[in-house]
Chains A and B, each alone.
Chain A
Amino acid sequence: MKQKRDRLNDESRLSRFTTHVVLIFASFLAFGPFVWMFLTSIKTYEETIQIPMKFLPEIPQWVNYSIVSDKLNFPQLYLNTILVTIMMIVGQILIVTICAYAFDRLNFPGKNVLFMGMLALMMVPGQIFIIPRFKLMVNLGLTNTLVGLVLPGLFNIFGVFLMRQFFSTLPRELDEAARIDGCSYFRTYWNVLLPLVKPGLTTLAILGMLNTWKDLMWPLINNSQADKMTLAAGLAMLIGEHTTYYEQVMAGGVIAVLPLIVLFVIFQRQFVEGIAHSGIKG
């Protein structure tokens, strides 16, 4: 009996050790870039390009933060990014789910062809659409607006595919019951099915948020006025043709991610639970 317990202990000790080694390694991978970003942000330009590399700055150059704050209007950039992200998430959830619902629950001629055609579009590299899309925005008068950043991204094909999978797991009996109670197609979608695919919505929202927050190319193309930039586009302004002052870019990077990190720490439980829930239920 005792022997058995010891062996168990040994095993769990070994596995705990392995787990920790893996986790420590993973956290280095995860935190390394942030640490490096911060250290670079308080170096002088010379220290950032120093060979061999210098890990710590000689004298911390906090002035980089005030330089970069003078160059970029961070409150405005933040506001723009947050507005664009909210509009994108809300809009995507509405449009994508209603489309996914139609593809899963309704029967209409050419449904499958249409769906396959849409999926095929996913294989076309996005860069191809930049110029026609820009022309469209010019004709709509939406260049240099936040709506112009949101509108082209609202219809998310991957999202439709994802949500269709979620809808298809729900039993048809729900629709029938709703029908008998006198629900229209829209009511069935809005009151009965939508609340049941919440895990899918979480996934959709998180993916949408990440993509919108970090999108660089389109904001740079569509908006050229400094007061209509998002954070990512604003930071890109600091990249020069011949010389890039990395310490300023990194100081800007720290300013751009710090509030998010703080938010994550505060709402960590909700974040993790949200994702875990979606795993179980989905």
Chain B
Amino acid sequence: MKKKITALLLALTLVLSATALTGCGGGGGESSDGPVSLTLSLWDEAQLPVIQENVDAFNAAHEGEIEVTIEQIPWDTYWTKLDASLETNEAPDVFWMNTYVQKYVDAGVLEPLDSYIEGESFDMSVYAEGRVDAYNVDGQQYALPKGLDAVVVALNTELFDRYGVELPQEGWTWDDMRDIASQLRDAIAAAGGSEYPIVMELDAQPSWMNFLYQNGGNYLSEDGKTCGIALPESKDAIQQVVDLMNNEQMAPYSVLTETKGTDLFISGQAAIVFIGSWKSSVLEDSSLAADGKVQLIQMPSMAVDNKTNMGGLGYVMSANCENKEAAWEFMKYITGEEAMAHEAEEGIDIPAYLSAQAGYVENFQNINAQAFMDASATGFAYPSNGNFDWTTIVDDAMQEALGQVKTVDEAMDEGAAEAQAILDEVFG
């Protein structure tokens, strides 16, 4: 009996491996007479359904010629998997790219698009300029931009009402914000409330990356060779944030490390939050917004301006791609007016394709999404030079400063020196 079971299991294993192997052989998709098959890799589960619809539309229009399949890889694994697959012919033909673009250009795994663009005089001005530039590395274009994001301020109008504080107006400054936050703080304390006047996320993009530039400092010089966090203006920007926390105008660091600022805001625990457009649908779907209690407004100005940094995805082509013409056709379609208008209508991304942007705002009933568009109109590209060893150091230094493990002076000086050493070694 036992022998039989063992034999059965063994047989089962053999059969299974055999079927799995043949399954692979059949699925290779390198057949000469069928349509050209392309794979597209992306990471965002939330965007997948809409992009799948766009891909279906593309496949239908190219029936028998090109067949695109999507492979979704979760964000946490996306880059590991990409590194592994780019070294082999297993790489996806077209895939999502973000601020890491320079790293992959340096590794020589991305196909430059200039010959395609020039070949058919493709007009790049249909896309937002800042996003085209972000994917232009050393004078060569490597991606067609998909979307863009921007940072604004969301206000919980119910808390402003409850505590009798007037809402800020467009064109406000950090002085105004400090003033409002103090009024809120005192009113909340008087009423025995537990809410915070201001909260923010501690990541760079929705918070300190903006402050550095708005105050006249910088994160990385224009030529990408010098880290600017130890500039007096940069230090001052961070000091102002630390002061907000110390004056109880902003939730303390310990609270913000434990709970995301946006989660606190949506739970009704904060009056003011710096928030990125990638959170727009979460905000739209919140009961706070459904009750009409959320208002969006541009960021307050620091010493220089209130411009926000702007990220956004792009579609790149693998240098190993075997059907580059087909991949180019697909990239034009998926970043084009029709596909991006559909993304805009579904509210999943603000299109970089300018004439497709209009539909985005209409998708939102509960928040004035136009604020995101306004912010993106003046936004600057998220600064990056393709090296991420020094950015980790700067991130740590920022957290030390905000968490007051060190003084702002110490943290910025030490962080800048250490980061600069790496930059000098890599780019010097």
Q: Which residues of A contact B (CB under 8 A)?
A: 45-46, 49-51, 71, 83, 86-87, 90-91, 94, 130-131, 134-135, 138-139, 141-147, 217, 220-221, 224-226, 236-243
Contacts and interface: CB of A to CB of B under 8 A. Distances in A.
Interface stretch (B264-272, B384-392, B394-402, B418-426): B264-272
B192 to A, nearest CB: 16
A86 B21 CA distance: 17
Contacts of A134: 84-85, 88, 90
A112 B260 CA distance: 54
B126 to A, nearest CB: 26
B16 interface: yes
Given A46-B266, A147-B21, A239 B285 contact: no
Contacts of B287: 46
Given A134-B88, A144-B24, A243-B279, A91 B267 contact: no
Contacts of A94: 10
B41 A224 contact: yes
Contacts of A144: 24, 27
Contacts of B45: 71, 237-240
B43 A241 contact: yes
A45 B284 CA distance: 12
B13 A243 contact: no
Contacts, number: 113
Q: Secondary structure of the B side of the interface?
A: helix
Given A45-B285, A90-B10, A134-B85, A224 B44 contact: no
B114 interface: no
A236 B16 contact: no
B285 A217 contact: no
B91 to A, nearest CB: 10
Nearest to A191: B3
Interface in B1-41: 9-10, 12-13, 16-17, 20-21, 23-25, 27-28, 41
A236 B13 contact: no
A45 B289 CA distance: 14
Contacts of B259: 51
B89 A138 contact: yes
B121 interface: no
A156 B372 CA distance: 53
Interface string B156-195: 0000000000000000000000000000000000000000
A270 B291 CA distance: 56
Contacts of A51: 259, 263-264, 267, 269
Listed residue (A142, A237, A238) with the most chain B CB atoms within 10 angstroms of its CB: A237
Nearest to A146: B20
Nearest to A134: B84
A50 B267 contact: yes
12 contacts: A46-B266, A46-B287, A51-B267, A86-B13, A134-B88, A138-B90, A146-B16, A147-B16, A220-B81, A224-B81, A237-B74, A241-B44
Contacts of A87: 13, 16-17
Given A49-B263, A135-B88, A243-B282, A221 B17 contact: no
Contacts of A130: 80, 84
B263 A90 contact: no
Given A49-B266, A90-B9, A236-B74, A145 B21 contact: yes
Nearest to A236: B74
B404 interface: no
A220 B21 contact: no
A135 to B, nearest CB: 6
B138 interface: no
Interface string B252-293: 000000011001101101000000101101100111000000
Contacts of A243: 46, 278-279, 281-282
A230 to B, nearest CB: 13
B407 interface: no
Given A50-B267, A131-B84, A217 B77 contact: yes
Contacts of A50: 267
Interface string B230-256: 000000000000000000000000000
B72 A226 contact: yes
A145 B18 CA distance: 11
A239 to B, nearest CB: 5
Given A217-B77, A240-B46, 4 more contacts: A51-B259, A145-B20, A147-B16, A242-B276
A86 B11 CA distance: 12
Given A86-B13, A141-B24, A239-B45, A221 B80 contact: yes
Listed residue (B20, B23, B264, B287) with the most chain A CB atoms within 10 angstroms of its CB: B20
Contacts of A143: 24, 90
Interface in B62-77: 69, 71-77
Contacts of A71: 45
Contacts of B285: 45-46
A218 to B, nearest CB: 10
Leading 9 A-B pairs by shortest Cβ distance:
A224-B71, A138-B88, A134-B84, A49-B263, A241-B75, A51-B267, A242-B278, A147-B20, A220-B77
A239 B75 contact: yes
Contact of A220 (B74, B263, B264): B74
Interface in B342-400: none
Contacts of A138: 85, 88-90
Contacts of A91: 13
Contacts of B43: 241
